[in-house]
Amino acid sequence: MATDFTEEHTWLQTQHELSLRKLIERSEYQEELKYDFNVKGELRHLDTNESFVFNYYKNAQEQNHKRYQVLGHLITQYVYELLERVCMLHKVYIPTDATEDEPRSFFFMSKNALTSSSSLTVLLQDRGVFRAGQWGQRTIVSEGLEHGTQIPFIKMALQSHGGVIVLNPNDNFIDLKTEKEKSSFSTREEPLTSTQPVSWIPKRGSSNPEEHTMYVWDHFISKSAAKNVAFIAHGYGGLVFVDLLVQRKWEVMNKVYSVAFIDSMHNTRHQARSDPQIQEWIQKYCRGWVSNSKPLDKAVGSLMKTDCPTVSAGTEKYGLAPSCCLHAIFKYLKSTLKAKTKIALRLSPVATRSSTSKKRGNK
């Protein structure tokens, strides 16, 4: 996978002349942020080739944090462009009935995501400052694009499962003071539901991750031609998916054939309110990968018997869990889809009539 990513990244830089450095040159931090991604997708200093250094200013924690925030914002813009130019995804603005001056959010999807009858894969990230296309911003800075972005997942999903939808659950507010979108600067442990500055206006239909996911489900995913939808949910994204399952129970159960949880924060017993049908569905159609010292795909005991089967992600590092279990997840999705297809063929009226006719002919 690394080779494919490197080739795509090099192609992008040469054909479209796109680089993080060009975005940095438009900011006020040209000297303080002399960084760009190399052909391997690693963030390196242009002069020293060293990794990112947080403590650039001596004894100035606030200044260093502001510098890091600026870098994070520019990485977000860069990843957005990668989604459109490398993955060839389309940006879709929501709400669909927004007025001209109304703050809007957006998500990304492949060209035929809604019209193709083939499978559809939906990526649902953790909560935090990062936006669509990112599993984790710190991971992008320290480990590179291949590990911190969703691009390897998107490309594999397009190759094996048809359409792709990349949700943008953390794009919730707009800052009226600057008239520029800003993040809440929350960490993974901090809830997005905390009190926001009075100048921050929530985006209708996307004021929190749950609302954003529900809106995209109601207006896009549920109406898609795809009969087989898979979710890959990381961290808080797992909790968001289970919330969707509870709110749209029969729709989700009928359309979603499998869910891959990565270090999910969901709680089946609490969220499902002891609904045995939901608990049974999760046990049957979901699998969880968790950060663990055990080898990849080795069983890991779950504290809740009502939850889905849980296996190791092959790493103890939370930020690296998605990239480490990438191939294992798609192997699992492929096998579950194959199993569902076999059952559907066996139960289809055409197949039943055909088998009956053969039996009669043999008599």
pLDDT of 161-216, one tens digit each? 689 999 999 999 987 665 444 433 333 333 344 455 557 889 999 999 999 999 99
Same domain, 54 and 151: no
Last residue of a domain, one of 61, 86, 111: 86
Both 137 and 172 in a single domain?
yes
Same domain, 216 and 73: no
Dig out the tokens for 5 from the structure.
Answer: 């990513």
> Region 284-296: what's the mean pLDDT?
96
Tokens in use for 182? 């800003």
Residues 102 and 178 in one domain: yes
**Mean pLDDT score of the chain, rounded to an integer?**
86
Number of domains in the chain: 2
CATH code for the domain of 101: 3.40.50
Does one domain contain both 161 and 222?
A: yes
Do 155 and 266 sit in the same domain of this protein?
Answer: yes
* CB atoms inside a 10 Å sphere around CB 335: 11
Angle at 171 (CA atoms; ends 167, 177), nearest 5 degrees: 160
> How many Cα atoms are found within 13 Å in the side-chain-facing hemisphere of 15?
9
Instruction: Convert the pLDDT of each residue in 14-59 to its tens digit.
Output: 444 568 888 888 888 888 899 999 989 999 999 999 999 999 999 8
Q: Are residues 49 and 63 in the same domain?
A: yes
pLDDT of residue 21: 82
d(C-alpha 210, C-alpha 169), whole Å: 7
Amino acid at 24: I
pLDDT at 351 over 60: no
Domain check: are 33 and 168 in the same one? no
Q: Please tell me whether residues 106 and 72 are part of one structural domain.
A: no
CA distances to 65, 77, 183, 295 from 131, rounded to whole Å, are 19, 9, 9, 30
Last residue of one domain, picked from the residues 86, 118, 150: 86
In the structure, what pLDDT confidence band is assigned to residue 297 with cuts at 50, 70 and 90? very high
pLDDT of residue 349: 66
Q: Residues 323, 187: one domain?
A: yes
pLDDT of residue 269: 77
Grade residue 304 by pLDDT with cuts at 50, 70 and 90.
low
Residues 173 and 77 in one domain: no
Among 52, 86, 120, the domain-final residue is 86
Contact (CB, 8 A) for 262 and 313: yes
Strand, coil or helix: what is 92?
A: strand
Query: By residue range, what is the domain housing residue 339?
Result: 90-362
* Whether 210 and 257 share a structural domain: yes
